[in-house]
Structure 1
Amino acid sequence: MPPVSLTDEQQRYLDFLRVQRRLAERTLILYTDALRRLTAFAAAEDLDLMRLSTHQARRFLAKLHGERLGPRSLALILSAWRGWYRWLGQDGKVDANPITDLRAPKQGKPLPKALGVDDAVRLADHHQDQDPVAEALAACIVELLYGSGLRVSELVGLDLRHHPQSAGWIVPDAAEAQVLGKGSKRRAVPLGAPALAAIRQWLAQRPLWAAEGEPALLVGPRGARLTADQARKRLKQRALAAGMPTHVHPHMLRHSFASHLLQSSGDLRGVQELLGHANISTTQIYTRLDFQHLAKVYDAAHPRAKKK
């Protein structure tokens, strides 16, 4: 697109965003480009931007589609246009916002990222040469996230035992944890043998850190309940020490739990219950991950997979 000068009103709007709204410099650059596109489209058809109709704006959007811009780029451009016309309307300079009803196409929902089985097991089995209390805590975090598919909020909400204010608690004798998930929905999740062993090892070290009377299962060095950010940090440190090929965060271990369980069992309803998903459509994304896994196996092993 040839260089196009911004109108005075567009420049004033960008100044408003820079000074009053304190938009980031990168965002301002993108908004400037979006407004230049709008000006160029209008100039090409000899249209007055201050009297632009929705029909004409929709035609501009069709031209953007023709440039093969992605949904995210289209959404940003429309946001810039919509914001400018809204700003003009507040000053009474336009009668209506022609961009109000225009929407970019929905973005495809990205697949969640999961570790491979070997990497997940290597992370769980990794032992760091560090303070034994910190090591026991990190191991417990990994085993509960990967072994039981907990959300990080559910993990740090676990108490040693049930009491009236408990969001969640462990029941070692029943090899399960009671957790409170999204929508205040309670569910029981199984604790496998490695998770129970990690909990026992952590409980042996916990008194060295825990403040007196602290009900939380997981605590930090200051004795109080471990926060979600602290759990993320400890997981990140363990993953780096274990040489993981990607950045590992708590939700990745939840994704890994679900993906590996579905690969082994094929029981979508069971995975839904264990994850605490209210709608099975949320769980179905893991069938796509499962298919990706099968496709990789096929590509690597089947004699007809590779072109000769």
Structure 2
Amino acid sequence: MKADAVTPLPRALQQPLERFYEYLRSEKGLSLHTQRNYKQQLETMGHHLHELGVKGWIDVDAGWVRQLASKGMREGMKSSSLATRLSSLRSFFDFLILRGDMNANPARGVSAPRKQRPLPKNLDVDEVAQLLDVNEDDPLSVRDRAIMELMYGAGLRLAELVSINIRDVHFRSEEIRVIGKGDKERKVPFSGQASEWVAKWMKLRSQFAQPSEPALFVSKLGTRISHRNVQKRMLEWGQKQSVSSHISPHKLRHSFATHMLESSNNLRAVQELLGHENISTTQIYTHLDFQHLAQAYDQAHPRAHKKNKD
């Protein structure tokens, strides 16, 4: 591999690169750091293409570009580094098109895989209890506890919680109508502490809500509470209750899903409660261990047990 770094590329591959480097210096005005980065990435790809028998850049098509991206992934490149590599290649091919050496950019349709956002660490049961131990009786504290009890008790998304109207809450049947992603309606059960604190808030809500406001949760201004306000209040309660974890609406939803799955082992039920269209989303969301499913299968399926050998 070290030999590749010092072995010059064949003229047909190297000369267009040198012209591109000069173009970057004289016309694009890119920083020296960016120029060096582009040069390093392009030289690496040039050597790889040469090893595979590619004679010139004009012979590179989308298939070759995908192979370059795959090689980077196999080598353990980060998504951001791979995106930079492909970006340098796209810029180089744009330059060749500008010069009339190529008609189309084969790297335009190839993109680096998206970097997966890490899921938030869920709160453990004791941390949830510590967060929700809000006994202050001022109306806004009651509202905030009702919000947190409902988010944790029903596993709601922030947008779902904010959009709830009074008419969506049914105490007798212990369910709430919510509108999820894609404007899909579903009913979620709520009882126990969630129902109790929502009822307490309903008795105090008229102190703030404007007469025509349909929202269940309102701000001090009397209108529907905003996403940002909910996030801010949860963060403040986490600090006030001395919870070591950073508190957010998504973390409460994630904790609901994790605790429900740990207690029930019912993936399908958790999927429905969360409003996930695909069960694969629920598996990722709750860090479901495949071994856990395998154990459930071994215990439950009548054909999973090995016959005893006599």
TM-score, scaled to structure 1: 0.73
Q: Does 1:8 align with 2:22?
A: yes
Q: For 1:225-257, what per-residue CA distance to the aligned partner results, in whole angstroms no more than 9, with x for missing partners?
A: 011121111111111222232322211111111
Instruction: Please name the residue that 1:192 is paired with.
Output: 191
Contact 2:97/2:105 (CA < 8 Å) preserved in 1?
A: yes
Q: 1:14 to 1:274 in 2, by over 3 A?
A: farther
Q: CA deviation at 1:156?
A: 0.7
Q: Does 1:135 align with 2:141?
A: yes
Q: CA deviation at 1:57?
A: 5.1
Contact 2:21/2:35 (CA < 8 Å) preserved in 1?
A: no
CA distance, structure 2, for counterparts of residue 123 and residue 291 of structure 1: 31
Contact 1:50/1:93 (CA < 8 Å) preserved in 2?
A: no
Aligned with residue 150 of structure 2, among 144, 150, 159: 144
Range with bigger deviation, 284-293 or 235-244: 284-293
| Equivalent residues, number | 274
Q: For 2:267, give the aligned amino acid.
A: L
Q: Does 1:180 align with 2:187?
A: no
Instruction: Please name the residue that 1:41 is paired with.
Output: 44
CA distance, structure 1, for counterparts of residue 78 and residue 23 of structure 2: 28
Q: 1:210 to 1:38 in 2, by over 3 A?
A: same
CA distance, structure 2, for counterparts of residue 62 and residue 271 of structure 1: 36
CA distance, structure 1, for counterparts of residue 60 and residue 174 of structure 2: 64
Q: CA deviation at 1:112?
A: 4.7
Q: For 1:173-201, what per-residue CA distance to the aligned partner results, in whole angstroms no more than 9, with x for missing partners?
A: 22211111112221111112111121122
Q: 1:287 to 1:229 in 2, by over 3 A?
A: closer
Instruction: Please name the residue that 1:68 is paired with.
Output: 76
Q: For 2:145, give the aligned amino acid.
A: A
CA distance, structure 2, for counterparts of residue 133 and residue 13 of structure 1: 63
CA distance, structure 1, for counterparts of residue 71 and residue 274 of structure 2: 43
Contact 2:83/2:111 (CA < 8 Å) preserved in 1?
A: yes
Instruction: Please name the residue that 1:159 is paired with.
Output: 165
Q: CA deviation at 1:222?
A: 0.7
Q: 1:232 to 1:87 in 2, by over 3 A?
A: farther
Contact 2:254/2:286 (CA < 8 Å) preserved in 1?
A: no
Matches within 5 A, 1:213-232: 213-232=212-231
Q: For 2:44, give the aligned amino acid.
A: F
Instruction: Please name the residue that 2:303 is paired with.
Output: none
Q: CA deviation at 1:146?
A: 0.5
Q: 1:181 to 1:57 in 2, by over 3 A?
A: closer
Percent of residue pairs bearing the same amino acid type:
35
SS in 1 for 2:187: strand
Instruction: Please name the residue that 2:269 is paired with.
Output: 270
Q: For 2:216, give the aligned amino acid.
A: L
Q: For 1:236, give the aligned amino acid.
A: L
Unaligned runs of 5+ in 2: 6-16, 293-310
Q: For 1:106-142, what per-residue CA distance to the aligned partner results, in whole angstroms no more than 9, with x for missing partners?
A: 65674453211211221122456xx812211211110
SS in 1 for 2:178: strand
Q: CA RMSD in A?
A: 3.8
Q: For 1:71, give the aligned amino acid.
A: S
Q: 1:286 to 1:43 in 2, by over 3 A?
A: closer
Q: For 1:94, give the aligned amino acid.
A: M
Q: Does 1:53 align with 2:52?
A: no
Q: 1:280 to 1:60 in 2, by over 3 A?
A: closer
Instruction: Please name the residue that 2:103 is paired with.
Output: 95
Instruction: Please name the residue that 1:23 is paired with.
Output: none
Unaligned runs of 5+ in 1: 19-27, 162-168, 294-308
Contact 2:130/2:241 (CA < 8 Å) preserved in 1?
A: yes
CA distance, structure 2, for counterparts of residue 80 and residue 210 of structure 1: 55
Query: Rg larger in 1 or in 2?
Result: 2
CA distance, structure 2, for counterparts of residue 246 and residue 90 of structure 1: 53
